[in-house]
């Protein structure tokens, strides 16, 4: 995973430094603690411009952070500072700003301060704790300047505040990953499934994703070049990753392995981070041979955080990639049925799936027919781990792109053993109310499922992109 750069600087009033001995060192020490904690997050580099307390330093900071291409900007409000100091920086950087209203302690040590005797020293102590003083001033200026910003309030060791900062950093990591992602599109749409049809220009403009149009004939040529040793190695990978059903014909395992090797090479050649595909082909031709043997290989790729969405569902490949960048999976799913006795919704799909979030080992099973699709071959059977989950869809509506999400639970109970991903989900609202609210929000019939409750991060990512998000609760 590539390193993501985030910007940080502190603001204060330089008039104070000559008036209150030790105040500057104390405040920059607080900023150092913030920087070090941020730097401890995986694959994060903090571009720290130090204390910005005049216009010249502000201009220098703007140039440095623009050069470093920071994904997100944190401003530590160390004490009262002039709002004019911020303008050169936020005007030049087209990134969201997070104001850190972080005190050294949960509250001023009132008795200690009041017992100091020297009112000058007492004022200096107060200034070391008055981070909130500039928040309304900065907010007023940002509102008038149409600057996208948010505020994190707390103290230096405040776990709740750091959870919020961590979500912002994760959102920045998603933003960077999506902006640098190359998505392959292979084949064509499933004819008539018009809710799935997507605007590739809009997807690239909003998420920054590069769309690489792939050819089936290229995959055919790659597959023809696969050697027997590579097939055997892939079969061993199948055996390590899947529980292979004894009824799987060896010829089908070999066919799927050959296609899997070819898919790996296609992904490597085009440096893909995700893919959407669908093809029907004619009975018995090479294209049909490939498209009826892709599920195992595409499941392996998805489990390696290169999500593959079937039915040419580009929007859902995006949703799956967002979840992959969070490390929470991202299974391609659709609504299967509702159980009104247990008040749950069943979701699943015929593959591929994200095997790292499986409840138990993924089974590789034979299917005599792919429902609604040509041919027969191998498929996967799995359920999502029981526990908290988040559902995510990328929506293309009348007003452009938005996100749709909800939090629920993957619960135990009877499922369908039909050679698909299949799980039961319970939500905070009734199943009847959920299906109504989710459907009316306007997504296609597919969604991505990941483990954990992460709508807080998704809201922040939507904020970074400046797009709407609907959370069903």
Residues of the chain with CATH 3.40.50.10940: 4-178
CB atoms within 10 A of CB 217: 10
What mean pLDDT comes out for the span 103-129? 92
Q: What is the pLDDT of residues 5-50, one digit of tens each?
A: 999 999 999 999 999 999 999 999 999 999 999 999 999 999 999 9
- Comparison of pLDDT for 214 and 360, the residue scoring more: 214
| Confidence check: pLDDT of 414 > 90 | no
pTM score, two decimals?
0.93
CA distances from 25 to 19, 20, 75, 145, 154 (A): 13, 11, 17, 32, 21
- pLDDT of 383: 92
What mean pLDDT comes out for the span 56-85? 96
Select from 146, 145, 140, 108 the least CA-distant residue to 127: 108
Please name the fold of domain 4-178. Answer: Rossmann fold (3.40.50)
For residues 183 and 275, give the distance between their C-alpha atoms in angstroms, rounded to a whole number.
5
Please name the fold of domain 181-472. Answer: L-fucose Isomerase; Chain A, domain 3 (3.20.14)
- Comparison of pLDDT for 1 and 463, the residue scoring more: 463
| Confidence check: pLDDT of 1 > 80 | no
Q: What is the pLDDT of residues 56-66, one digit of tens each?
A: 999 999 999 99
Q: Which of 295-304, 312-321, 366-375 shows the lowest mean pLDDT across its residues?
A: 366-375
Q: What is the pLDDT of residues 307-331, one digit of tens each?
A: 999 999 999 999 999 999 999 999 9
- pLDDT of 352: 80
Residues of the chain with CATH 3.20.14: 181-472
Pairing status of strand 210-214 against strand 308-309: unpaired
Percent of the chain with pLDDT over 70: 100
- pLDDT of 174: 97
| Confidence check: pLDDT of 291 > 80 | yes
Confidence of residue 156 (pLDDT cuts 50, 70, 90): very high
Strands across the sheet containing 149-155: 44-52, 4-11, 73-77, 97-103, 149-155
What mean pLDDT comes out for the span 111-130? 91
């Amino acid at each position: 995973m590539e390193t993501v750069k985030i910007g940080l600087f502190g603001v204060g009033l330089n008039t104070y430094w000559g008036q209150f001995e030790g105040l500057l060192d104390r405040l920059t020490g607080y900023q150092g603690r913030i920087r070090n904690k941020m730097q401890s997050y995986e694959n994060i580099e903090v571009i720290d411009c130090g204390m910005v307390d005049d216009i010249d330093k502000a201009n220098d900071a703007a140039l440095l952070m623009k050069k470093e291409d920071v994904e997100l900007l944190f401003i530590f409000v160390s004490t009262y500072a002039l709002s004019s100091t911020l303008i050169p920086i936020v005007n030049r950087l087209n990134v969201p700003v997070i104001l850190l209203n972080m005190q050294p302690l949960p509250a001023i040590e009132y008795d200690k301060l009041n017992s100091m005797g020297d009112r000058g020293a007492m004022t200096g102590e107060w200034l070391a704790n008055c981070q909130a003083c500039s928040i309304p001033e900065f907010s007023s200026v940002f509102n008038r300047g149409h600057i996208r910003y948010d505020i994190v309030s707390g103290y230096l060791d405040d776990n709740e505040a750091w959870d919020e900062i961590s979500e912002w950093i994760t959102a920045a990591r998603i933003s960077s990953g999506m902006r640098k992602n190359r998505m392959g599109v292979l084949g064509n749409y499933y004819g008539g499934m018009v809710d799935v049809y997507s605007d590739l220009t809009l997807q690239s403009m909003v998420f920054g994703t590069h769309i690489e149009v792939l050819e089936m004939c290229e995959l055919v040529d790659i597959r023809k070049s696969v050697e027997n040793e590579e097939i055997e190695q892939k079969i061993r990978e199948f055996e390590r990753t899947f529980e292979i059903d004894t009824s799987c014909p060896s010829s089908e395992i070999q066919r799927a392995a050959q296609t899997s090797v070819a898919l790996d090479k296609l992904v490597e050649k085009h440096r893909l981070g995700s893919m959407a595909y669908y093809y029907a082909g004619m009975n018995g031709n090479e294209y049909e041979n490939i498209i009826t043997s892709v599920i195992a290989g595409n499941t392996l790729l998805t489990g390696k955080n290169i999500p593959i969405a079937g039915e040419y569902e580009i929007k859902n490949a995006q949703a799956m990639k967002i979840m992959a960048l969070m490390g929470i999976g991202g299974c391609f799913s659709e609504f299967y049925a509702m159980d009104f006795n247990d008040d749950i919704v069943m979701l699943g799909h015929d593959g591929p799936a994200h095997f790292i979030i499986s409840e138990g080992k993924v089974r590789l099973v034979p299917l005599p027919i792919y429902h609604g699709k040509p041919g027969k071959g191998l498929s996967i059977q799995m359920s999502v781990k029981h526990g908290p989950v988040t559902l995510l869809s990328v929506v293309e509506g009348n007003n452009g792109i938005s996100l749709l999400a909800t939090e629920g639970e993957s619960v135990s109970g009877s499922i369908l053993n039909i050679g698909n991903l299949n799980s039961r989900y319970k939500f905070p609202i009734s199943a009847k109310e959920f299906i109504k609210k989710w459907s009316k929000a306007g997504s296609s019939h597919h969604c991505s499922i990941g483990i954990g409750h992460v709508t807080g991060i998704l809201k922040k990512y939507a904020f970074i992109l400046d797009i709407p998000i609907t959370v069903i609760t």
